[in-house]
Structure 1
Amino acid sequence: MASRPPAEVPLESERLVLAVDLGTSGCKCALVGLSGRVHAWAFRPVPLYLVGEFGVEQDAEDWWRAFLGAAQEVLEGDAERRRRVVAVCVSAFGECTVPVDEAGRALARAMLWLDMRGAESIRRRARSGKLNVQGYGPLKLARWLRLTGGAPSLSGKDPAGHIAWLHDHHQPLVERTHKFLNALDFMNLRLTGRYCATHDSALTTWATDNRDLSRVRYDDKLLRLLEIDHERLPELVSSTEVIGHLMPAVASALGLAPTTKVVAGAVDNSAAAIGAGTVRDGDLHLYLGTSSWLGAHIPRKRTHLSAFIASVPCAQKDRYLAMAMQSAACSNLTMLRDRILFHADELSGNHERQDDYALLDRIAERVQPGARGLIYLPWLQGERTPVDDRHLRAGLLNLSLEHTREDIIRAFLEGVALNTRWMLEPMLRFVGSEKGSAMTIVGGGAQSQVWCQIMADVTGMVIRQPHMPIQANAMGAAFIAGVGLGELSFSDVPSLCGIARTFEPRDTVRGLYDDRFGTFKELHRRLAPVYRKIRRQLEATA
């Protein structure tokens, strides 16, 4: 494998990757050099559709339009720079399902990772009579854990649940479906015309045998258990495989050569782990985007069933990625901004404008740690780690006449940090790290120095903030492309990722946040039954 490009490669002659970061909020495109330098960056938003209480969808054509708009922006006006683009590589959010026909057209809007309509459908497939373990039939669970490393979410928040729901409620649509695709698979189809899924994008169909990373494949027994036809799933490829060249129409629309290669890419958590520079075993990264997760590479497949943590296939062919996932992070701030603090005509108009969030930062910084006793529970759409409970909902506790809007903003930031500590504790045990060690923070929320300091104080971890945390997924996609092209190795990546600032936990607030965390966990224990009771009441009156 070739080593990384030398640092002295001139900016104007560096070979470039059109790196795509498709997130829930929209599509970011970046021109990234194989040295890790970002030459251009653009974003286009993508709308979200809520369907009842549990349905969350997006239109796959909106993804494609957002991609074309952002890609054309970073490429326009510079023919020389376009000639230096050697590959396209996509990072996309996972646990999404879009049914497409033989022509590659979406037959319905995509069901997202927040969509919980399939909960009862997947529970029926996972159960076995009266004897069950945490909702799973013992033999079924044993097979899932042995082969995949995990099991379908009983909240329905993954393709296994989505496909089960479509089978149970929209059978005619299923019969017209040629392939069920994840978001990454759909983008690669539109780029190359090839139906394929990477090992990590196929993971949460929960039908792959992942014991041998050199031979990941669908398992017939798991497919029968899930009631999924093998023929409706795409072929499996590794993240670093060159899956083809740009379709002529796509190359023409972007002004790129039709010989431009497309590397398979990865789902967002795999790409972020690479873009954060955390490629060595046990190196933790925290992603703060619409959702949140903790990840670290480890050499073997493991599962912590009670904490809903597993190590799964990822972009590195010889490593698993240990993952702990939570449902809502920055989406709490977006909801606070758009639905509580401001009227629609007070907003900046572009939902990704960072000045809105910078204002929230400045306000939160003025408030003392602890938000004057306010506690926020950030469970807008249920939770996943360390509990898998679709009934949990957000709440603001201990609000009084003394509190201000400023206190509420601070409480929201602290609430997400407390939730992060909740999943961090079992994650540290899982990967063999210790509290007080360091983790790299990436994603849109990682741009906030105020939030980084809160994360350090609440978790007790040293927080490392890269120079461009919002671009970690795009950089990860570019590095994956470099490996696929044979111009990089993953061991080169840490030296290509710089740290801008380090945040140390402050001893002066340790006791405060330790007490607050204890209260946070107690609130979960006491309120979880209340949320389930409210849900039963809502169902009875529906």
Structure 2
Amino acid sequence: MMSSLRIPLYVKSISGTMPCMPRNAVIGVDIGTSSSKGVLVDAGSGDVLRSAVREHAVDRPGPGRFEMDARVWWREFASLSRELTADLDQDGLAVAAVGVSGMGPCVLLTDGHDTPVRPAILYGVDTRSTAQIARLEEELGAEEIVRRCGSGLSSQAAGAKIAWVADEEPEAFADARRLYMPSSWLVRRLTGAYVLDHHSASQCTPLYDTNAQEWYAPWVQRIAPRLELPPLRWSGEAAGAVTLDAAAETGLPAGVPVTTGTIDAWAEAVSVGAQGPGDLMLMYGTTMFLVHTVPGAGLLTSPALWSTVGALPGTRNLAGGMATSGAVTTWLRELFGSPDFAELLRLAEESGPGANGLLMLPYFAGERTPLMDPAARGLIAGLTLSHTRGDLYRAALEGTACGVRHNIEAIEAAGGDIRRIVAVGGGTKGALWTRIVSDVTGRAQEVRATTIGAAYGDALLAAQLAGDARIDDWNPVAEVVRPDPARTAAYDELYGLYRQLYPASADVVHALAARQHR
């Protein structure tokens, strides 16, 4: 598509000078919690040709509140795009398509001119909508919400956060006309299209009917009557093409197609081919996320999980997410004076299984699934004066591994059939964390050659939009992490203690959480 817009390259041949058409490349960009990441990928081979990162911080205006200025999303996208596309002609490359994703579900409300009326409210780590959840459950019926939407209301529900803005910031809500998430905001700026993918919409509980796969007008009118909710498409469908104005800001050629995009965890699943029946994608990131593709077309629901439509047509998911994982290890690294992560992994390896008698509940920002408890808090049990940095770091890795096992058990209790686990994300580096998770869960994990994550999944969807790209050609399996039966047996006892510790401490922890909100 774009070769007609490029100046052809020329090479010498026996018969004279002849044009050499540039190779197609695709761009994927993901707006994450702590950074935005972009990749330039060879559309044919899947090789990552260039990558770039822009780090950022989220705002925390109060306990349980996480926000971000949406202008950062576009500014970082434009910066990444300019870096990724610089001097492509010299390398014989041409951008054929662009894919996008972002953290979510987020709530960015704008007026009719696309000016944000307030900062974007982030996904389930933001727990401000507790009162709205209780009210909506009473008004609409908790069971009816699950029946129609697939999931109950929790801190992950975007619809409840919209209700919070209506209740707590009525002047801002009076000006609100449109709803965006990071991916759809980028699409709007790139193409002018106002669209949202079905998967993201299915996390706008209770505004989306997961059975009919469309906005549910009666509840939309009740909760957000002034909002003009976006038309819905599937993640890999074209939302539009790069406009002349966007091309000037980003360095992209005008006319390049852009995918509709989706939430980062679902793009991560695409990046490692974990959308087949029985697949479970396990994302090691700032938070730990699990996406299970349910065999068959039936809807499975659980009060402990999220039931959503998938990123691809005809798929349904049971999903779980821990509020923190990598966020805890980063917090520890900062407390320790920012030593290198590799050094902390070495110390954790020396600590050994069980972290010398330490047990951590990784609920440092509340907990999402399967507890659905925004007032949960982190807990480190068994501390003595003899414990070291390596013990604490090991306890964090083992605590998150126990959280993964808890979610896996909840998925299977809800009727899920996990046949394969595929790991992805920055936490797969260094091998120790994935090995601990396999030992704690007793499950093998596939690790593919490229574990960059969501941005790579965005690029794959873009390549599929531009032509024919297959995941096994792009990103073959590089290794399989298998559990050690002896360590799994030892961890069974630790996991039993893990499951006991939360209910045993919940009353005290909830009282402390209440004091933090005063």
Q: TM-score, normalised by structure 2?
A: 0.90
CA contact (8 A) 1:83 1:256 kept: no
Give 1:507's match in structure 2, choosing from 470, 485, 491.
Answer: 485
* Per-residue CA distance 1:352-381 (angstroms, 9 max, x = gap): xxxx32222122122211100011111011
1:369 counterpart SS class: coil
Q: Hey, what's the Cα distance between the residues in 2 that align with 1:279 and 1:235?
A: 24
Partner of 1:305, secondary structure, is: coil
The answer on whether the counterparts of 1:270 and 1:321 sit within 8 Å (CA) in structure 2 is no
The DSSP-based 3-state class of the residue aligned with 2:513 is helix
How far off is 1:146 after superposition?
2.9
Match in the other structure for 2:350: 366
The 8 Å contact of residues 152 and 204 in structure 1, kept in 2 or not, is answered as no
Q: Counterpart in 2 of 1:314?
A: 310
Q: CA deviation at 1:77?
A: 2.9
Identify which of 211, 214, 219 aligns with 1:217.
Answer: 214
Q: Name the residue aligned to 2:146.
A: 145
User: What is the Cα deviation at residue 13 of structure 1?
Assistant: 4.9
1:302 to 295, 299, 302: 299
Q: Structure 2: any 5+ residue segments left out of the alignment?
A: 1-20
Q: 1:91-490 alignment to 2 at 5 Å?
A: 91-113=101-123, 114-128=125-139, 140-153=141-154, 156-206=155-205, 207-212=207-212, 216-225=213-222, 227-229=223-225, 231-298=227-294, 299-310=296-307, 312-338=308-334, 340-342=335-337, 356-430=340-414, 432-433=416-417, 438-469=420-451, 471-488=452-469
Distance 2:69 2:298 in 1: 34
What amino acid maps onto 1:476 in structure 2?
Answer: G
Distance 1:447 1:14, change over 3 A: farther
| Whole-Å separation in 1 of the counterparts to 2:40 and 2:515 | 51
Q: In structure 2, which of residues 26, 30, 33 is the aligned counterpart of residue 17 of structure 1?
A: 26
* Cα displacement (A) at 1:301: 4.2
Question: Aligned-pair distance for 1:538?
Answer: 4.9
Q: Alpha carbons of 1:111 and 1:432: their partners in 2 closer, same or farther (altered >3 Å)? A: closer
Contact kept, 8 Å, 2:358 with 2:380, in 1: the verdict is: yes
Give the one of 530, 536, 542 matched to 2:508: 530
- The gaps in structure 1 that reach 5 residues or longer are 1-11, 129-136, 348-355
The 1:169/1:263 distance shift into structure 2, 3 A limit, reads same
User: What is the distance in 2 between the residues matched to 1:309 and 1:264?
Assistant: 22
Following TM superposition, by how much is the alpha carbon of 1:230 offset from its aligned partner in structure 2, in angstroms? 6.2
CA distance in 2, matches of 1:463, 1:378: 22
CA-CA distance at 1:255 after TM superposition? 2.6
CA positional deviation for 1:81: 5.2
3-state DSSP of counterpart to 1:455: helix
Q: Distance in 2 between matches of 1:536 and 1:327?
A: 18
Matching residue's letter, 2:305: F
Q: Assess, with a 3 A threshold, how the Cα gap between structure 1 residues 202 and 438 changes in structure 2: closer, same or farther.
A: closer
- Identical-pair percentage: 28
Distance apart, 1:305 and its partner CA: 2.4
CA contact (8 A) 2:280 2:292 kept: yes
In 1: Cα distance, 2:110 partner to 2:93 partner: 33
1:24–1:217: structure 2 CA closer, same or farther, 3 Å change rule? same
Q: Find the counterpart in structure 2 of residue 59 from structure 1.
A: 69
Shift of 1:534: 2.3
What amino acid is aligned across from residue 455 of structure 2 in structure 1? Answer: A
Aligned equivalents of 2:298, 2:138: Cα separation in 1: 24
In structure 2, the CA distance between the partners of 1:62 and 1:410, relative to structure 1 (3 Å rule), is same
Query: What are the Cα deviations for residues 39-97 of structure 1, in whole angstroms up to 9, with x where unaligned?
Result: 11110012111111111111111122222222222222333558511111102111111
Equivalence for 1:8: none
Runs of at least 4 residues off by over 6 Å: none
TM-superposed CA distance for 1:15, in Å, is 1.7
Deviation at 1:468, TM superposition (A): 2.2
- Matched residue SS, 2:356: helix
Task: Name the structure 2 match of 1:351.
Answer: none
